[in-house]
Structure formats: structure tokens, C-alpha cells
Amino acid sequence: MQDVESASAPLLSDAIDLGYLDPDQARFSQTPGGFLALNYKGADYPRVSVRRSLPLAMPNEYLSLADPEGKEIAILRDLSRLDADQRGLVEAELARRYYCPNVVDVKSVKDQLGYVYFELTVQGAGAPSARMCAVKDVNKNIRMLSDDDVIMFDVDGNRYRIPSLKALNAKSRKRLEPYLF
Amino acid sequence: MDKIDLAFTLDESMRPVDGRLTFDGEGVITVRENGERTRSLSAKDAKEAQVLGGVGCALILLTYENAPDIALARFDMSRLKAAGEWCKIVNHAIETGKPAFDDAIEPEVCEKCGKTLPEGMRVCPFCFSKTGLLKRVWSLMKPFRREAIISEAFIALSGVIYLSVPVLNRVLIDNYLAPRLGTAAQIMLLAGFMFLARAIGEVIFVLSSRVYARVGTLFSNHLRDLAYAKIQKLSMTALGRRTPGELIRRVMEDTVTIKDFLTDYGRWMVDMGLMFIASMVILALTNWRLTLLVFAPIPIVVVALYRFRSMIHIRYERQWRKNSRAQSILHDIIKGIRTVKSFGAEDREIAKFAGVSKDLAQVMTNNETMWALLFPAVTFFSGIGEFMVLYIGGKWILGGSLSLGVLVQFTMFLGYIYQPLRWLVSFPRMLADAMTSLVKMFEILDEEADIQETALSKDADVSGGVDYQSVSFGYKSYEPVLKEVSFTIEPGEMIGIVGKSGAGKSTLINLMLRLYDPNTGRITLSGEDLRAVSPRLLHEKAGVVFQDTFLFAGTIYDNILYAKPDATAAEVIAACVAANAHDFIMKSADGYDTLIGESGYSLSGGERQRLAIARAIIKHPRLLILDEATSSLDLETESIIQDSLNNLTRKRTTIAIAHRLSTLRAANRLIVLDKGRIAEMGDHMQLLRRKGIYYKLVMAQRQTNKAAG
Ligand SMILES: Nc1ncnc2c1ncn2[C@@H]1O[C@H](COP(=O)(O)OP(=O)(O)OP(=O)(O)O)[C@@H](O)[C@H]1O
Ligand SMILES: [Mg+2]
């Protein structure tokens, strides 16, 4: 259940019930239609979405489970509190909801009139594939999450991640260089 | 066409796939992955096809009345729009039993090369040819071209006069001094010529410089005006993407950088270039072997500079961005200083700014360091040339194959040749600086207004009704805020809009004011498609109070006048009386001349709102839009204002948004928005009887009123 964090100062998180999921009463399953279903405290939810509260900072904690109307059923405090097969199901659903393939190669970059066009090779699950994407306002849409970790957002709403700049090949890095800061 | 295809890109495990989702006229949906059929089902039993957005991806699913939902296809966000169209067609077939294939799902393609355009883009990255930046600068300089050219010509002239000095010098040495032949008068004449040449050259130079400086100032002024005018005209969509700090920087600083470049470097470029070429020709004619020695180090310098160019460019681009960021932060914080103080966050903000500032300093230091290293290196190389000329030329003189006069002429020319070269070293840096600023500048100037006012734009007729026809809109095309909204407002009607926070109420009126255009569907005003109506004229005719009232620094009087600059004092006072602002204004010593600070912070929230109402109604508009215009007022003041507004709003169309339902009691009809859709519509009684969302809202407010009373 909740972490006991400090005995002295009263915390807001103690005063407000966040509705954490009780893993013992929860049963996830995969539907033939391709969705995640949940049976929780006796109630059936045929299609639940799993939404990250902090997709970048804590991708596996504070996962909000909601029904198709967007009504929250419970918050899964930490993915690791589920046992392995249950966790696998939730992870698969997360992968289906959050799609952010890694950039493995930057073939070309073209910069004009406020748009920067990237010709990329990206890889999520499965084989690498070619992608052409346009980024507007690089200042905002290419973000350094750390010195080495980059995320980019294109005009369509796609996301691409470079988990480690150092691991990227030198040519690609050089092409990206002007847009990172 | 008898079937409709949608390409999709991801399989169930989010692996890339060449997928195809087909809906045929018979109502059968087929899913193919990499050419193989994976699924086939009938749309007839389904309730609806839906697009379900994820993060960075989305999917199409079929929902059923009594069966679990089925995910049909998954894809990246680039397919989203097409997917929406596909669902529309399928849903139409489900509802009516008839297929409708009138509009095919065609992604937008480039007219020239046929490649798919990224969504939201008008220029194809592959076919666009960059107009030379300098060419554009040239055309921007049009009004000042003549003066610039004249000044340039004079500078060139003074250069040529200067060049004559070393030549005369050689003649003096070789023809008169070395052979000891000349008379005092001849020497006097030559020396006098040299003196005159220098003097005249200097005078011409000073004069032309003054002309040039003036041209530069006028030009930067011109650029600043252009940028400012463009920013004023930009659509809300374009403005929303940039911080105020960034815009300010573009108007105030980039223009100066460009000007500095043009007046300092543009001019020297021509001047030095001419001197360089002329010197080269004169030297080559005098002694070509020695000339080769002079030019030996030049290729090295040029190659080195060329190699460093892109690196320098990147570095300065980065410096620009860091600078921009520091300014944005500064601007934001100063604007929000009240909030900062109220959270006791001054120290945190100091630290934050110090961090950014240090970052900037670091980048600048790095750039300067690189510079400090590069510069002497190039000077060193050109020094080699100097050495070789003296050494080898000296040997030739001793050997008798070269005259003393020629060597003296060469050493004098060395200055003319190497000086531009040394200067050429700092040129790429200045060029990079200026180019960065130029590009940023043109970025603004080239920004296509999303909402264009064309010569064909019609005047707005606000006396008629407003009609929304299945309007959908999202600030980002992939995040719809309004979905298929349709309703009609009769002329003279008062419409109330209610709904949860974030339901899209303010967005609805943003569209009506044409601050944004709908993504699909259309809005008509007095029967005219709003897209054909000039937004400027529309804004002149409609009275609006936005949810976040903004008052300008100035007097109360000026603020009211803002809406109608030619209004008389009587009109201003009348507006304030109607808005119930008159009394509080008269309480202060300076009355309508009271200065209100930036954003009007010296006023209370309710006072600000009342001024905003006065500003909106002074035009006596036939279309009045009130977004939570009285939310900060007590019930009594609100009802006073309402009564006077009701008198005013008779025969005029009014759209009012309010959370407090009592605000809308005079409304003819109410629209209840829920998650971007119209959930209910009708008058108060009708909606109460429906016992839906509105009913719940009314009951909830009654409850709180009771509890309070
Ligand atoms: N300029 C904008 N850029 C991007 N998204 C926006 C913008 N303005 C509003 N939104 C989003 O659009 C949705 C609808 O906003 P809107 O202002 O229309 O709500 P509203 O119904 O007026 O809410 P409220 O009652 O709180 O004023 C919100 O989710 C909001 O986050
Ligand atoms: Mg609003």
C-alpha cells in the first residue's frame, strides 16, 4: 500500500485517497479484440486504458487505469507490484498506447522556413523502418531530457526518442547537433 | 469507386507492417498485413467505428452494442486524419445501410513531385528551392538601393585613389631616386600627388560613410517595422507557438544584427573585394613571379575558413538559441513576478536564471575561445606570405633581377591584400551571426498566415444569424477539441453556453471570431462562409469580452477607447455606466484619467471585468460575445449589469458563456457542451425536463445556494 515517507510533517498524499489499485483484487486479461480487460473488486471492465502519470520521469509508476469514458478506476502505484504474467499484460498495453520508436539513423536533415525535415531510420518493436518527419519549432519540439537523452515531436504528433546520443553513429549525431541544446 | 482503403503502419505488437484496411460496398471490412488477409468481419453488426488516440500512435476500433470492442488497425499519427475519414465513411454506411464513397481518403501530396506532404505543411521539403538570402535582402533594400550604390561607388573611388599611392611611390624610387636622376621639382610633384591622393581619398571616404550609416539606420528601421507589422498580422496559431520574449527579440535585436552586418560588412565586402582584385591586377602586371609569392598562403586560409564555416555556423545558431531562451525566461518571470513572490520562489527563480545565464556565458566563452585560436592562426599564415616576399624579393634585388621600387610597391600592397584577408577571417563569424538573424527574421516574414485576409475577403455582416455546420477543430490537428458541432443562432437571439471546464466553450467562440479556422465543417455568418470574411472587419464589428481580460498600461479612458478610437467622451462614459463601472471610476481622484498599470493589476478582478465589458459594448455591437464576463462579480452587481445589457442586447445576437447559471437566465436557448460535443440544446425548461447534464448542473447549484443561504 502507501509508502510511509515521513512521520513528522503531515503530507497531502496521506490526507487524500489516491485510490491505489490493490493487486490482490485485480485480474488483468487480454481480450480477443486486442484490448486489456480488468476484473477489479468483482467488477468487470472489458476495456481499460493504462495511462502514465509521468511518462518521461517515471514510466512504470503511478499508472492510471481508466474505462473507455476516461473515468479512473484506480492507480497502479508501481508496475513491479504485479506478478510477472499480469505485469506482462499491462506492459503490452502500455507499448500499444505509448509509441515512441528510437532513432537509429539520421539520413538527412533539411531546414527551411521554420520546419526541419528529418529523414530517419527508426526502430520500435520489430525491424527498423524509414521515416520522414517534419518538426516545427525545434526549440520546443526537440527536447533534451538529459545530456544524452533526446525526444523529438513531429508536426503530426509522432514521437521519436534517442535514448543515448553517444550510442548514435557519428554522422547522425553531427546532423542532429545543430538542433540540440 | 466501390471500396475504401486505409493504409496502416503497425501490427498488434507495434511492429512496422504494411497494412491495409478495406471497407467494401457490401459492408465487409478486411484487414491485410503485408498482403495477407488477417481478418475479415462485417460492419453491419457493429455500432460504430472509432479512432482511439494513444500517445504517438492511434488505432481504429469497432464497437458493438453487446459484444467486446475489436481493434482493427494501429498506425502512427501521420495516418490519423485519413483514419478519421475512413471511420466517417464506415459509420455512414452503418447508420444508413448505404455506402457513401464520395470523398476518397487522399493524403495531401506535393503538386510537383507527388510525395506525401507531412500534415499541416504546405511546402514540400524536396521541391522547395531556397531563394538566396542575400537576394532577398537586396529586394528588401529596395527603397535605399540608390543611396547605398552611390555611397558604395564613392568608397570604391577612394580605394582606387589610395591604390595609386604605392604605384607613384615605385615610379618615384625607380625612375628618380635610385638612379639619382630626378629634380627637386619632379620629386615635389610626385610627393604632392601622393599627398593629394590620400587627402581626397579620405574626404570621399568620410562623406560616403555618412551616407551609408544613414542608409543602415533607415534599413533596420524598415526591417523592424516589417517584422512588427507581420507579428500583428500573424494568426493566433502562429503566435501561440512563440513566447513573447522570442518575438521581442526578433523585432528589436535581429534587425540590429542585420543592419550592423550590412553597414559594416556588406559595405566593406564590396570595398575590400575591389581593392583586393585591383591590387592583384596591378601587382601581376608589375611582376607576376613576386605576385605568386604574395598569393601563396591565400588558398590555405580560404580552405581553412571553408572547413570551419559550418562549425562556426552551428555554434552561433546555438548561441542565438541560448540567448533567446534566457530572454524568454526573463520575460516570463518578470511578467509573472506576483506569482513568483506569492510562492516565495524568488531564490529559485534567481537560481534558474543564473543557470540559463551561465549556460549562455559558457557557449559564448567557447565561441570566443575558438575564435581567439582561429584568428591568430590565419594571421600567422598570411605572415608567411609577407616573409617570403621580403626574403625572396630581397634576394632578387641583390641578384639584380628586381628593382627596389617594385619591392617597395609590393610591400605597400601587401597591406591592401592581407588586410581584407585578415578581415575575411572574422567575416564568416559575422556572416553566421547575420545569417542566423536573417533566417529568424524571414521565418517570421514568411510565416503564412493560417487565416488569410485576401483582397477578396468580404466585409462582415453581423446582423444575421450564425450557423455551425459539423464543425470540428483542434489546436493541434491530432487533438480534437470540438467534434462535429452543429447549431444555429438566429439573429437577435441570446445563446448561453454551459459545460464543464475544458469542454471547448471558449474554443467555440474563438472559431466564431475567426481567430482560428475549423479543421472540418464550416461556420457561416449571415449566410456567408466565415472563411471568406475578413477577420479584421469581423473584429471591428463584434464586441467581445474574453475570459482572461487584458488591459493595457494607460488610462482607463484610453483602454475603453481602444475598441473605438473615435468615440466621444459621452460614449465612453455611457459604456462604463452600462457596465456599472462608472461609479467605481468616479471614486478615484483622477476619474477616467486614472492610470492603470500593465495588465491592469491596480484594479480588482471585478473592476477589470467591468472595464472589459465597457470596452466590448462601446461599439454598440450587433454581435456580443461574453466569455465568463461577469464571473468575478457579486450577484448584485452582476444582475445590475445584466439588466443594462439586456436592454442593450435586445435585437442583437449575444453569446454568453458562464458557469454560474443565473448569469444565463435571460438566454433564449442554452447549449450544453460536453467533451467537445453538443450534449443538449434548448431553453431552460426543456433542458430541465430532459433531466440530463443541465438538470444536474442546476440541481448542484441550487444545492450550494441553499447551503450558503
Ligand atoms: N491555445 C490553445 N492551444 C492548445 N490547446 C488549447 C488552447 N486553448 C485551449 N486549449 C485546450 O482546448 C480545450 C478546450 O478549451 P476551452 O478554453 O475551449 O475550454 P472552456 O470550455 O472554455 O473551459 P473553461 O470553462 O475552463 O473556460 C482544453 O482542453 C484546453 O486545454
Ligand atoms: Mg473558457
Count of pairs with CB atoms under 8 A, one residue in A, one in B? 129
Average pLDDT over residues B247-276: 78
Lowest mean pLDDT among B109-123, B175-189, B345-359: B109-123
The tens digit of pLDDT for each residue in B461-491 reads: 878 889 999 999 988 766 789 998 999 999 9
Per the structure, the count of domains in chain A is 2
DSSP sequence for B21-60: EEEETTSEEEEEETTEEEEEEESTTEEEEEEEE-BSEEEE
- The answer to the question of residue A3 being in a domain is no
C-alpha cell at B690: 430532459
- Whether pLDDT at B109 is above 70: no
Lowest mean pLDDT among A79-83, B50-54, B108-112, B322-326: B108-112
Residue closest by Cα to atom 31 of ligand 1: B502
Question: What Rg, from alpha-carbon coordinates, does chain A have?
Answer: 20
Residues A85 and A72 in one domain: yes
Mean of all residue pLDDT scores within chain B: 82
Q: Smallest CA–CA separation between A106 and chain B, in Å?
A: 16
SS3 A159: strand
- The helix (H) or strand (E) run that includes residue B698 is helix B693-708
- How far is the centre of ligand 2, averaged over its atoms, from the C-alpha of B627 (Å)? 7
Average pLDDT over residues B656-661: 90
Provide the pLDDT confidence category of residue B673 given band limits of 50, 70 and 90.
very high
- Whether pLDDT at B446 is above 90: no
- The answer to the question of residue A1 being in a domain is no
Residues A60 and A131 in one domain: no
Question: A33 and B59 in contact by Cβ < 8 A?
Answer: no
- The helix (H) or strand (E) run that includes residue B166 is helix B145-171
DSSP sequence for A116-130: EEEEEEEESSSS-EE
Q: Which ligand 1 atom sits closest to the C-alpha of B482?
A: 14
> First CA to last CA across chain A, in angstroms?
41
Q: Which of B321, B478, B479 lies closest to A181 in CB terms? A: B321
| CB-CB contact of A40 with A23 (8 Å) | no
Question: A158 and B56 in contact by Cβ < 8 A?
Answer: yes
Query: Which has the higher per-residue pLDDT, A104 or B80?
Result: A104
Provide the pLDDT confidence category of residue A1 given band limits of 50, 70 and 90.
very low
- How far is the centre of ligand 1, averaged over its atoms, from the C-alpha of B475 (Å)? 9
- Angle at Cα B109 formed by Cα B104 and Cα B112, nearest 5°? 135
Cβ-Cβ contacts under 8 Å, B322 against chain A: 181
Phi, psi of B676 (to 5 degrees): 85, 0
Provide the pLDDT confidence category of residue A159 given band limits of 50, 70 and 90.
very high
| CB-CB contact of B59 with B11 (8 Å) | no
Query: Which has the higher per-residue pLDDT, B400 or B458?
Result: B400
- Cβ-Cβ contacts under 8 Å for B418 (sequence gap 6 or more): B382, B385, B386
Ligand nearest to the CA of B510: 1
Residues A17 and A80 in one domain: yes
CA quadruple A57, A60, A65, A69: dihedral positive or negative? positive
Instruction: Examine the fold and report which residue of A64, A97, A130 is the final residue of a domain before the chain moves on.
Output: A97
- The answer to the question of residue A66 being in a domain is yes
- Whether pLDDT at B599 is above 60: no
Residues A77 and A40 in one domain: yes
Reference B532, options B451, B446, B447, B625; nearest CA is: B451
Neighbouring CB atoms inside 10 A of B399's CB total: 8
Nearest residue in B to A134, CA atom = B118
Instruction: Examine the fold and report which residue of A67, A97, A127 is the final residue of a domain before the chain moves on.
Output: A97
Residues A75 and A112 in one domain: no
Average pLDDT over residues B402-414: 85
When the candidates are 3.40.50.300, 1.10.1040.10, 3.40.190.10, 3.30.360.10, the CATH number that belongs to B466-708 is 3.40.50.300
Cβ-Cβ contacts under 8 Å, B476 against chain A: 157
- Whether pLDDT at B103 is above 60: no
- The answer to the question of residue A67 being in a domain is yes
Phi, psi of A59 (to 5 degrees): -65, -20
Q: In what order do the strands lie in the sheet with A58-66?
A: A26-30, A36-40, A43-54, A58-66, A72-78
ipTM of the complex: 0.90
A161 reaches B (C-beta below 8 A): no
HSE toward the beta carbon, residue B201, CA cutoff 13 A: 17
Question: What's the Cα-to-Cα distance from B322 to each of B110, B259, B361, B366, rounded to whole Å?
Answer: 35, 22, 9, 13
Residue closest by Cα to atom 19 of ligand 1: B502
Provide the pLDDT confidence category of residue B66 given band limits of 50, 70 and 90.
confident
When the candidates are 1.10.3470, 2.40.240, 1.10.10, 2.30.29, the CATH number that belongs to B3-96 is 2.30.29
Strands B542-545 and B623-627: parallel
Question: If you search the block for the grid coordinates 481602444, which residue do you land on?
Answer: B562
CA distance B1 to B5: 11
Residue closest by Cα to atom 26 of ligand 1: B501
Question: What's the Cα-to-Cα distance from B301 to each of B375, B383, B422, B494, rounded to whole Å?
Answer: 11, 11, 9, 75
pLDDT at B495: 93
Superfamily designation of domain B130-446: ABC transporter type 1, transmembrane domain (1.20.1560.10)
Per-domain residue ranges for chain B?
3-96, 130-446, 466-708
Residues A118 and A55 in one domain: no
Residues forming a β-bridge with A120: A106, A131
Ligand nearest to the CA of B240: 1
- Cβ-Cβ contacts under 8 Å for B542 (sequence gap 6 or more): B460, B462, B513, B621, B623, B624, B625
Residues A90 and A134 in one domain: no
Q: Which of B118, B130, B442 lies closest to A156 in CB terms? A: B118
pLDDT at B339: 75
Ligand 1 mutation pick, B485, B506, B663, max ligand atoms within 8 A of CB: B506
Alpha helices in B343-453 (DSSP H): 346-399, 404-446
- How far is the centre of ligand 2, averaged over its atoms, from the C-alpha of B336 (Å)? 21
- The answer to the question of residue A47 being in a domain is yes
- How far is the centre of ligand 1, averaged over its atoms, from the C-alpha of B173 (Å)? 84
Ligand nearest to the CA of B501: 1
C-alpha cell at A19: 485510490
Reference B545, options B638, B632, B653, B628; nearest CA is: B628
Question: If you search the block for the grid coordinates 460575445, which residue do you land on?
Answer: B625
Cβ-Cβ contacts under 8 Å, A110 against chain B: 125
Return the DSSP state at A137: -
Residues A142 and A82 in one domain: no
Question: What's the Cα-to-Cα distance from B672 to each of B173, B178, B255, B680, rounded to whole Å?
Answer: 98, 104, 49, 5
- How far is the centre of ligand 2, averaged over its atoms, from the C-alpha of B550 (Å)? 15
pLDDT at B214: 83
pLDDT at A82: 94
CA distance B241 to A139: 10
Reference B123, options A133, A106, A112; nearest CA is: A112
Query: Which has the higher per-residue pLDDT, B276 or B523?
Result: B523
Cβ-Cβ contacts under 8 Å, A177 against chain B: 314
Residues A124 and A77 in one domain: no
Q: What is the pTM of this model?
A: 0.69
Question: What's the Cα-to-Cα distance from B504 to each of A176, B476, B498, rounded to whole Å?
Answer: 38, 14, 10
Provide the pLDDT confidence category of residue B378 given band limits of 50, 70 and 90.
low
Provide the pLDDT confidence category of residue B179 given band limits of 50, 70 and 90.
confident
C-alpha cell at B214: 544613414
- Whether pLDDT at A111 is above 60: yes
Q: Residue B198 class from Cβ within 10 Å (0-12 exposed, 13-18 middle, 19+ buried)?
A: middle
Residue closest by Cα to atom 28 of ligand 1: B502
Ligand nearest to the CA of B626: 2
Most confident of the following: A72-86, B291-305, B357-371:
A72-86
Three-class secondary structure assignment of B516-584: CCCCEEEEEECCEEHHHECHHHHHHHEEEECCCCCCCCEEHHHHHHCCCCCCCHHHHHHHHHHCCCHHH
CA distance B543 to B654: 9
- Cβ-Cβ contacts under 8 Å for A38 (sequence gap 6 or more): A26, A27, A28, A29, A44, A45, A48, A65, A73
pLDDT at B122: 53
> In this structure, what is the dihedral angle of CA atoms B666, B672, B678, B684, given to the nearest 10 degrees?
-50
Residues A90 and A16 in one domain: yes
- Whether pLDDT at B58 is above 70: yes
Report CA B466 to chain centroid distance, whole Å.
Answer: 31
- Whether pLDDT at A35 is above 90: yes
Instruction: Examine the fold and report which residue of A46, A77, A97 is the final residue of a domain before the chain moves on.
Output: A97
Phi, psi of A3 (to 5 degrees): -75, 140
Residues A72 and A133 in one domain: no
Indicate if ligand 1 lies below 6 Å from the C-beta of B501: yes
- Cβ-Cβ contacts under 8 Å for A98 (sequence gap 6 or more): A52, A55, A59, B54, B55, B56, B57
The tens digit of pLDDT for each residue in B11-27 reads: 999 999 999 999 887 78
pLDDT at A8: 61
Q: Which of B61, B118, B318 lies closest to A134 in CB terms? A: B118
- The answer to the question of residue A4 being in a domain is no
Q: Smallest CA–CA separation between B326 and chain A, in Å?
A: 13
Alpha helices in B250-297 (DSSP H): 255-260, 267-286, 288-295
- Whether pLDDT at B322 is above 60: yes
For chain B, percent of residues with pLDDT exceeding 70: 89
Query: Which has the higher per-residue pLDDT, A9 or B709?
Result: A9
Nearest residue in B to A153, CA atom = B56
pLDDT at B602: 77
Average pLDDT over residues B660-673: 89
Indicate if ligand 1 lies below 6 Å from the C-beta of B240: yes
Provide the pLDDT confidence category of residue A2 given band limits of 50, 70 and 90.
very low
pLDDT at B409: 86
Amino acid at B8: F
Cβ-Cβ contacts under 8 Å, B321 against chain A: 139, 181
* Enclosing domain of residue A76: 12-97
CA distance B104 to B92: 14
- Whether pLDDT at B35 is above 50: yes
- Angle at Cα B95 formed by Cα B75 and Cα B479, nearest 5°? 35
Q: Which of A31, A95, A177 lies closest to B314 in CB terms? A: A177
Q: Which of A114, A129, A155 lies closest to B118 in CB terms? A: A155
- The answer to the question of residue A44 being in a domain is yes
Q: Residue A105 class from Cβ within 10 Å (0-12 exposed, 13-18 middle, 19+ buried)?
A: middle
Query: Which has the higher per-residue pLDDT, B20 or B318?
Result: B20
Neighbouring CB atoms inside 10 A of B219's CB total: 22
Across B585-684, the runs of DSSP E, i.e. the strands, are 595-596, 623-627, 653-657, 669-674, 677-682
For chain A, percent of residues with pLDDT exceeding 70: 93
| CB-CB contact of A160 with A100 (8 Å) | yes
Q: Which ligand 1 atom sits closest to the C-alpha of B505?
A: 21
Residues A91 and A109 in one domain: no
| CB-CB contact of A38 with A22 (8 Å) | no
